[in-house]
Every structure is written in structure tokens, then in C-alpha cells.
Amino acid sequence: MSEWQKKKAKEYVDKAFDQSEKTSTMSAKEVEQAVLGALMIEKTAIVEVSEVLTSDEFFYLEAHKIIYGAILEMEQKNEPVDLMTVNQSIISKGLSESIGGISYLIGLTNMVNSSANIVFHSMIVVEYWIKRKASLIAIIANQKANDFKEDCFDLLDEMESGISEIKNRVFTNKSVNLSTSISNSIKTFSSIKDNGGLIGVPTGIIELDRRTGGAAGGDLILVGGRPGSGKSMIKLIFAHNASVNFKTPIAIFEFEDKPTQNDSRLMALNTGIDYGDIYMGKPNIDFNFVDQKMASVDYSRFNIEYANYPLNILCSKIKQYVRKKGVKAVFVNQLSFIKVNQTFQREDQLLGYISTTLKNLAKELDIAIYLFIQLKPAIDERPDVRPHKGDIRLCAKLEEDADTIILLTRPEAYEWFREGTKAYYFRDQLFDIQDKILLDYCKTRNGEPFAEWLNAEMGKHWLYGSDNPFRIVEKNYTFNDHGEVFQLPEKNDVFKTINGVSHFERNENMQ
């Protein structure tokens, strides 16, 4: 392909993007103006922006390339960046007329009030650049594909090289000064210490957060169980606590449950009324009370979409929530419903592709992603219904990608236990299984598996100490979150509310 043909292809791309400028809700021109204006009203903003926009080539308009090039050069020389200094730098290069003079610079600064969203806008500038470059590669490839003189393997190599160039340009690895890195890490660890050991998004369950530090950015967390094991309850408790009690934006992508199911569970969670009674609209439910209670809960950080997206659209949606709403944790329910726009010979390859894609996305966006999965039906046929990692369908790749694996056991869901002739043993202890779920953290970030019992009653979620849970033979005793024993005259007496979450309260008649 001649240089003339490549030039014409670039002109075609530019013309197409010029046309899109007229219809886009946020055009390349507007977002570039927002970035440049913010840089000139906030002197230190260039430090953050230069990590994203490493060159003026990311800008679409030639005038904007000139302005940003001048700002980058000033930053590298440790010169202050503001309206007057940028204007003087451009004048000294003889380029003032090319950008429209100081009046254009003044117009840029008048377009923005602050630099609060400058990094977000900078990322959009990069996205527009990627689309222009990708369009150019596609157009040139299409022209070459119709030229039978072109070698098809050379064409593939050229396309691959072009895409790699884009990726390398955007995802450049930066060298790290070790002393600076260690100093920053010490500050991070000190902040974690001051925050009670939390390194990520909390579940709101004290003992779980104490053991795990919360769901860290970059983590893929698998939550597995059989139908009726409590996956939906765990999903909503974790999401509710993070968004309502800890003011952390979250997003749920719901492929399985219906709105009425999730809504009724959240009503139960906030009122203490049985979920089944609400869902069935039992006559004894005072829905005026439920309505008043729900109106007092701040769900502004709780985002939920009832999805039927393929994987690529799901990833795009997650990125939008992270960038627009600052989401820190995403819940995807569940794996088997996610489709992809390509064919795999084996199911394990398909599931592995999905889990790897979500793991890489979690790392890229520095968020935690909870992925809910269905375990093998063989569990239902065993006397011991407590699952293990081998019960994950086609488990090797999923286990490899996951940073944390939580497997759920709810003995009460099985007729074998409900008959009353059988009891559930755990660590050689006999359990009262009513309203209880066992959370097996069989893979954790620090490599130490553990298990905790959770009360399954919506609205009264609290942990039983895993070493000393309720025993059938000792109904008049219970244990708080720290494993301390105290008398239990009546079960309802031991609840207290901390940030809207029910916890044990130490009884004065401590034994």
C-alpha cells in the first residue's frame, strides 16, 4: 500500500470522527477542552494527567496538541503552569496564531470550574485516540485484504503489530524508584493499620473483615454453592453493608434473580421480617412500615442492573460504573449465564476465558469483583454436604484465577437434615443447623483457609464463633464474635445494632 493510500485512509478516519463530533454527547473536542482548561486553573493537575496523557499525540485537534505539548514541556522543566505562562510559552514558539491566541486559552479556562474530574476526562481522551488508531488499522487492513497481491500472513502481522503498538502506547510500564516505592508502601500500610486492618471493601461482617481485610482492589472472588445455599443472601448482605454502612459505591449485575426477589430480600434485611413472608405477601405484613423503613435507607451508592449482556458488554458496563460512579466492588450473579461472542471447543475453555477476563478487568480497574458460581450437583447426593474446591465445575482455571474462594453450606436446605433424625457435625461438634450458613474460605489472599457460621435470617446476620458455635447440647449458652462464652436466657436479648448491622452483645452474667 502506497503512502498516498495510507494518507487517504487517515483522511477518511478524520472525516468520520469530524462527523461524529456533531452527534456525540461528549465529543473529543469538548473533553480535550475540559482537560486543557483544568490544567491551566490547577497548577499541580499536570502531575496526575501526565501519567495518563504521556504525549500530545493523544489529542485530536492540532491546536490542542500544541497547547498540551507546551504544558508537558513546562512540567518537565518544573515551570509553573497557568494561563499566562502557557500563553507565553506558545508565543515563544511562534504558534500563538495557530491556536487562536490568548482568547482561545481564556475560553478554555472559562469552560471548567475545577480539576476534580481531570483524570477521568484524560482517560476519555485516550479512549478517543484508541478508537481513531483502531479505525485506521481496520481501514488499511480492509484495503489490503481486497488486494490479492498482498500476502495474507504479512497482513495479519501488520494488524497484530498495529494493535500491539496501541497497547504498548497506552499501557506503558513505568520504572519504579525502590526507595520511593517502599516509602509509599509504608504510608499505605500505616493507613491500613489506622483503618482497623481494612485493605479493601468491607463485608460489614466483623470477623470476616478482621480475617481478610475486606475485598481488595484487583481481586476476583468466587462465591460458590448449590441452589438454596444462600448465594443471593450473601450477595445482598455484602453489597448492602458496603454501600449503606461504609458509603462505598458498588454495582450488581444480575443475570439470575428477578427484581422482586432481590427487592424482597433487601426489605427483609432492613426490617427483620422474614423474606418468604414478604415475597408471598402474607396478610400479617405491614407494608406501610416496610415502606417507611426502606425510605430511610440511603441506597444512592447501590447500583443494580438486570443483565443479559455478553461478556464484552458486561466489561464495558463495569468500566462505565467505575469511571462515572466510582464503584469499588462489583457483584456478578452468575457465571453460567454469561455469554461470549466467540466459539470454544470445550466448556472449561469458555469458563476459563470468562474468569480470566474478569480477573484482568479487576486488576486494570483496581476493583474487587465477586463472581457467583453454581457447584456440582453431586454434593446433593453426599452425606456430608460441605463442599470443597473439587466441587467447582471445571475448576482448575477458575481456581487459578481466583484470589479468594468462598464455598457455602446450608444444611437446612436438605431434607436429610430437616427430618430431625440427623445432625450436622463440624470439627467434631454437633450443630443446631437452623438458619445457619457455613462460609468456607477455602482459598484466601494470605493462604490461610478458615470457616465461619453466619445466621441466615435476613435482617439478623451475625457470626457464630467458628471454634465455639451453638451446640444442640448447650442451647443455653452462646458465643460472641470473639469466641467468649456467656449465658443466653433468650436468643433475642443478645442482638445489638452497630451501623445498622445486628451483632452479639456481651451478657453481664458472664460465665
pLDDT of residue 342: 79
pLDDT of residue 8: 61
Q: Which H or E run contains 261?
A: helix 259-271
Read off the pLDDT of each residue in 119-124 and give the average, rounded to a whole number: 88
**According to the 3-state scheme, what is the secondary structure of 86-144?**
HHHHHHHCCCHHHHCHHHHHHHHHHCCCCCCCHHHHHHHHHHHHHHHHHHHHHHHHHHH
Place 207 in a pLDDT band, splitting at 50, 70 and 90: confident
Contact 218, 400 (CB under 8 A): no
pLDDT of residue 16: 60
Residues facing 404 on adjacent strands = 221
β-strand 485-487 against 477-479: which pairing, if any? antiparallel
Which residue has better confidence, 417 or 246? 246
- pLDDT over threshold 50, residue 471: no
Which residue has better confidence, 18 or 206? 206
Mapping DSSP to helix (H, G, I), strand (E, B) and coil, where does residue 403 land? coil
pLDDT of residue 256: 93
pLDDT of residue 300: 94
User: CA-to-CA distance for 461 and 456, rounded, in angstroms?
Assistant: 6
Place 136 in a pLDDT band, splitting at 50, 70 and 90: confident
User: CA-to-CA distance for 450 and 207, rounded, in angstroms?
Assistant: 11
Contact 396, 412 (CB under 8 A): no
Which residue has better confidence, 120 or 446? 120
User: CA-to-CA distance for 318 and 365, rounded, in angstroms?
Assistant: 9
pLDDT of residue 26: 61
- pLDDT over threshold 90, residue 84: yes
Predicted TM-score (pTM) of this structure: 0.60
Provide the residue ranges of all domains of the chain, joining segments of one domain with +: 3-170, 206-504
pLDDT of residue 496: 37
- pLDDT over threshold 60, residue 487: no
Mapping DSSP to helix (H, G, I), strand (E, B) and coil, where does residue 151 land? coil
Torsions phi, psi of 26, nearest 5?
-135, 100
Chain centroid to Cα 23, Å, comes to 31
pLDDT of residue 199: 81
Q: Which tens digits make up the pLDDT trace of 161-197?
A: 778 778 777 765 455 566 766 777 677 667 666 666 6
Q: 206-504 maps to which CATH number? A: 3.40.50.300
- Residue type present at position 148: F
- pLDDT over threshold 50, residue 341: yes
User: CA-to-CA distance for 390 and 395, rounded, in angstroms?
Assistant: 7
Query: Which CATH number among 1.10.860.10, 3.40.50.80, 2.60.40.1510, 1.10.8.60 corresponds to the domain 3-170?
Result: 1.10.860.10
pLDDT of residue 465: 34
b/e code 123-148 from CB counts within 10 Å (16+ = b): ebbebbbeebbebbbebbbeebeeee
How many other CB atoms are there within 10 angstroms of residue 228's CB atom?
12
- pLDDT over threshold 60, residue 500: no
- pLDDT over threshold 70, residue 343: yes
- pLDDT over threshold 90, residue 403: yes
Which residue has better confidence, 169 or 106? 106
Q: Which own/partner contact pairs does 15-18 have at CB distance under 8 Å and 24+ positions apart?
A: 16/135, 17/60, 17/128, 17/132, 17/135
Read off the pLDDT of each residue in 454-472 and give the average, rounded to a whole number: 42
pLDDT of residue 466: 33
**Sequence-ordered strand ranges (E) for 13-92:** none
pLDDT of residue 186: 72
Place 474 in a pLDDT band, splitting at 50, 70 and 90: very low
Place 479 in a pLDDT band, splitting at 50, 70 and 90: very low
- pLDDT over threshold 50, residue 508: no
Q: Which grid cell sits at 141?
A: 487492513
Q: Which grid cell sits at 380?
A: 446433593
Read off the pLDDT of each residue in 443-460 and give the average, rounded to a whole number: 70
Which residue, 235, 241, 450, is CA-closest to 330?
235
pLDDT of residue 422: 52
Angle subtended by helix axes 152-170 and 118-145, to nearest 10 = 170
Read off the pLDDT of each residue in 120-146 and give the average, rounded to a whole number: 86
Read off the pLDDT of each residue in 316-331 and give the average, rounded to a whole number: 90
Read off the pLDDT of each residue in 364-382 and give the average, rounded to a whole number: 91
Q: Which grid cell sits at 469?
A: 458455635
Highest mean pLDDT among 100-114, 453-467, 485-499: 100-114
User: CA-to-CA distance for 70 and 82, rounded, in angstroms?
Assistant: 11
- pLDDT over threshold 80, residue 37: yes
Contact 155, 163 (CB under 8 A): no
Which residue, 456, 459, 499, 436, is CA-closest to 272?
459
Read off the pLDDT of each residue in 244-262 and give the average, rounded to a whole number: 93
Which residue has better confidence, 38 or 21? 38
pLDDT of residue 2: 60
* Sequence-ordered alpha helix ranges (H) in 341-389: 347-365
Q: Which grid cell sits at 204?
A: 460489614
The rounded percent of the chain whose pLDDT value lies above 70 is 75
Which residue has better confidence, 168 or 314? 314
pLDDT of residue 29: 86
Please give the mean pLDDT across all residues of the chain: 78
Mapping DSSP to helix (H, G, I), strand (E, B) and coil, where does residue 393 land? coil
Read off the pLDDT of each residue in 198-223 and give the average, rounded to a whole number: 87
pLDDT of residue 268: 83
Contact 393, 377 (CB under 8 A): no
Read off the pLDDT of each residue in 282-302 and give the average, rounded to a whole number: 90
User: CA-to-CA distance for 335 and 351, rounded, in angstroms?
Assistant: 8
- Identify the residue whose cell numbers are 481466583: 402
